A and B are shown apart, each in its own frame.
Chain A
Amino acid sequence: MTNPTQEWPLFEIFIRGQHGLSHRHVGSLHAPDAEMAIKNARDVYTRRNEGVSIWVVQASDIAASSPEEKGSLYEPANDKVYRHPTFFDIPEEVGAM
């Protein structure tokens, strides 16, 4: 076994499905560059017509929130229930709204 020189960087793969939805994260893979990452993603993640478009992003370029921030990021939404349409009672005689 030879000593591996340098590991290929990790890319995160996003695929847009057939039906006009957004690109969705499907997994990751290693590739020497973005161009090869797209080629490899085609083989690894779309063998059964799963998509019509591929995005690849080098994993090290992704900034992510951390689990500890959960409270400060998402809790403020909890006391703003009026953002949901069901907060408002509309009389039946008004009809569908």
Chain B
Amino acid sequence: MYAQMIKSTGEGVKSLDEMEPQERAFQERINAGGKIEPKDWMPDGYRKNLIRQIGQHAHSEIVGQLPEGNWITRAPTLERKAILLAKVQDEAGHGLYLYCAAETLGVTRDQLTRDLLSGKMKYSSIFNYPTLTWADMGAVGWLVDGAAIMNQVPLQRTSYGPYARAMVRICKEESFHQRQGYDIMMKMAKGTKAQKKMAQDALNRFWGPALMMFGPSDENSVHSAQSMAWKIKMNSNDELRQKFVDECVPQAEYLGLTVPDPDLKWNEERGHYDFTQPDWDEFFDVLRGNGPCNKERLAARNKAWDDGAWVRDGLMAHAAKKRAAKLAAE
């Protein structure tokens, strides 16, 4: 998802009987649907995992601005441009809500930024793919934001209070993102032959990477089991991916576009679509830094941070000067 491949620090899930009283009380509270708040006691592993997960999620929102920011100046109409600008601004906001949530766990904003810029912390693999045409804005909103919603809606019930509250805000805004994407796709798919071809091409390129967003199958993963016991992961990757496919196929049909999977078929018995797994070798390669845009994305973030240094410093100096003048006047 926006946070892929989070390895928990726990060694498998302990039973309540194996836990010390403090940890047992903590787990029982989570089991009962209670929320954990910043000042409450929590196991180290829970804290570390959440910092990684929320941090990666925040980084994804921030880096996720780049592929779409690429088209702001070239949007086909002024209205489309204003809408895209608002959408990209929302992504910045989502990043900020999430950084705030991560900071309540004791990590600083600058530390998170440093870890993103140095490549130590990851962001979602999806943002390492290029956006080549205007139709990609449609595919990104429809599929990428659509996949994000699949994951984020259940996370509104996650056990960590600040994370859950950030998710509530994000989900409220995310539905606009998906619909604006689908709106672009409708326009293109019902447009000229060339426009429809662009829409189909965008779907072809983003389908696989969108399926990868949910991460590899985690059926037998001890890490996932621990995260699920802690309720910082609410569904298995396969479960969410299936739900996503089931929802997208009729939407693609409405557009008159073809999902690029020759083996895609409704399975009456399961009540779900059968579909082909994405190319997992490609996924791991992108995570290792070898996707089409990894270098470009990190370079853009580093440049923004470096070029903005004088603004950050200048505003701090100005604030200090004003404080001093106010003190002198008292």
Contacts and interface: CB of A to CB of B under 8 A. Distances in A.
A44 B100 CA distance: 12
Top 5 A-B residue pairs of the complex, sorted by shortest distance between their CB atoms: A33-B319, A32-B315, A32-B319, A28-B100, A7-B110
Contacts of A44: 93, 96-97
B100 A66 contact: no
- Interface range for B: 35 or more
B313 A66 contact: no
Nearest to B308: A2
Interface in B200-227: none
Interface in A1-17: 1-2, 4-8, 10
A36 B319 CA distance: 9
Interface of B: 37, 39-41, 86, 89-90, 93, 96-97, 100, 103, 108-110, 113-114, 117-118, 165-166, 169, 173, 302, 305-306, 309, 312-313, 315-316, 318-319, 322-323
Interface in A40-93: 43-44, 47-48, 64, 66-67
A69 B39 CA distance: 12
16 contacts: A2-B306, A4-B312, A5-B313, A5-B316, A10-B103, A27-B96, A29-B100, A32-B316, A32-B319, A36-B315, A43-B89, A44-B96, A47-B86, A48-B173, A64-B39, A66-B39
A1 B321 CA distance: 27
B39 A27 contact: no
B109 A7 contact: yes
A23 interface: no
Nearest to A48: B173
Contact of B322 (A5, A33, A47): A33
Given A1-B117, A2-B306, A47-B90, A8 B322 contact: no
Contacts of A6: 313, 316
A7 B107 CA distance: 12
Contacts of B100: 27-29
- Which of A1, A6, A7, A8: most chain B Cβ within 10 A? A1
Contacts of B322: 33
Contacts of A43: 89, 93
B288 to A, nearest CB: 21
Contacts of B96: 27, 29, 44
B2 to A, nearest CB: 18
Given A29-B96, A32-B316, A67 B109 contact: no
Given A27-B100, A29-B96, A4 B39 contact: no
Given A4-B309, A44-B97, 19 more contacts: A6-B313, A6-B316, A7-B108, A7-B109, A8-B312, A10-B103, A10-B109, A26-B169, A27-B96, A27-B165, A33-B318, A33-B323, A36-B319, A43-B93, A44-B96, A47-B90, A47-B93, A66-B39, A67-B40
A12 to B, nearest CB: 9
A70 B318 CA distance: 42
B48 to A, nearest CB: 20
A62 to B, nearest CB: 12
B84 to A, nearest CB: 15
B39 to A, nearest CB: 5
A33 B118 CA distance: 28
A4 B93 CA distance: 22
Contacts of B319: 32-33, 36
A67 B25 CA distance: 14
B57 to A, nearest CB: 15
Nearest to B311: A32
Nearest to B309: A2
B37 A1 contact: no
A10 B110 CA distance: 12
